[in-house]
Structure 1
Amino acid sequence: MQLMRAFPILLAWLVLAGSARAAEPLVACGHPIYPPLSWDQNGQLTGVAPDVVQRLFGELGYSVQLDVRGNWKRCLREAREGQVDIVVSAYITDERREYLSYASEYVVNDPVAVFVNRQHSFPFQQLDDLKDKTAGLLLGDSFGDRFDRYVRREGHIEWVSRGEQNFAKLALGRIDYMPLGRETGRLQSLRLKLHGIIEPLPGALTTEHYYIAVRRAGALEAHLAYINQRLRELHADGTLAQLQTHYSQQYLNADTSSPAQPSQASPSLKASPDETPTPPGP
């Protein structure tokens, strides 16, 4: 009898909690120039990671506001300052662990290549081959703790705020190389029509992974188990591979005159086999 009296109160609480989620969208940001993972298309953050974040957190009852924060460094800084709830995808580094909690399942794996000007190529097999060479990096970029430590100690870095600046500098011979994910480098060089000038060297500098991350010690940490489960399912059924193909084509064919709509016309995410498992509390 006492349980029956408590039920309407519990139901009302659940309704109010759901309304609160819907009324206050989560703020998410991501890398503004890393297709097909995420990029700024006319002021709209689009790509595989924004799509997946919006849909998975939507399954949990949240709406997500996808923000372009000027550059990658600013996105990370505002995540550290607590102004951002979700980073749609990021490498794991020791520094970022101080303010971000990561899903354990990755969104995409990212073999990182050394891109060079074809006319100024050089042999590359190990990090020491980059000694005393000038690298072009985007503000906020990291390519794993090992590379970051090495290049700060043994190399020279020229920082830029926009990815196309590095491509232009490499094409003009003003930097020696640019570390970049092999696939995003391929897409960007095609889009910029520089694929005849810029090429990746054989082999990989490293292979990193991009993970969804939420504010450390925040309420969203409780949902990471659910996010991990769904990411495993989306890898297993091929959905994430389909999204990578879809967004690669969207990036190459994008109409730059109007904002992108990241969730429209992309492959549907399949529901979990149990429909949607009971999510943990916010």
Structure 2
Amino acid sequence: MARHSNGQENYKPAGWVIAVAIVVIVAIIALLYFWLGNDNGDDVNNAADQEITAQETSSDEATSEDASAETSVDEASTEENSEEETPSEEPETSEAPAPAPSADAADTLILLDTSNAMAGQFDPVSGALANTARALSGANKAVALWNYSSPLNPGVTVGYRDNLGFGNGDEAANTIQAFGTGGEPQTRPAVIAAADVAADRAADINGPVRVLLVTTGTVTAMDDAAFADAFAQAAGNNVELSVVHVGPGAPDAAVEDVATEFTSVDGTDSRAVADALKAAAGA
């Protein structure tokens, strides 16, 4: 018997279609879960990293502050030590120290120019020279005194005078200030004669003797070479010639050549003359 249709169709999906749909849905859900899970994990990790970095930064800043504090303490200690250890400055003095003597004191023959050329400066020169004679006496040194110029009196043929032999310097000081001036400075013959007497004194005491010449220059006909030879023979090895040239006159080059020491000063400057004589005499 034949089957008849009732006009309705019953449609049912195939089983494999349903299975594929379920697999797709599960895959989508799994993918969504994976994406959402990674985003949350990254946020958590980033927050943790930021917190660790902040802690490290705070620790570094604290360490830097501690180091700065220690540095400040060290600098303060250094400044205190510098202030404590800095020596006090000594007060400055306006006076210059006196020049040291350039020679040692010795028995001395003073040979003083009393020519007319000394007239304008005799007072400061004689005063300083008298003090030098006293200083030598105070140093227990014997002092002899000569003066020289061209002959002034009839019958006198030499231009130098042996006033005092070696003895007390105070007596020489008094005699120096009693001299007058006149004539011309015949220096070279006087120097040779004084060197000869000084050499005799050196032999007697077995020690050095000085001739201290205070001169304004030379007026003489003696040859330079002849003078140098005569002086060397008279002085020997134990006589020194210290020369203080005073005034505007030209120094005697030949005398300067044989001198142990030679100084030229303004004879009107009492301080300069005194310093020069002190250095030349070692007194």
What is the TM-score of this pair, normalised by structure 1?
0.25
Structure scoring higher RCO (CA < 8 A, sep ≥ 6) equals: 1
Pick the structure with greater CA Rg. Answer: 2
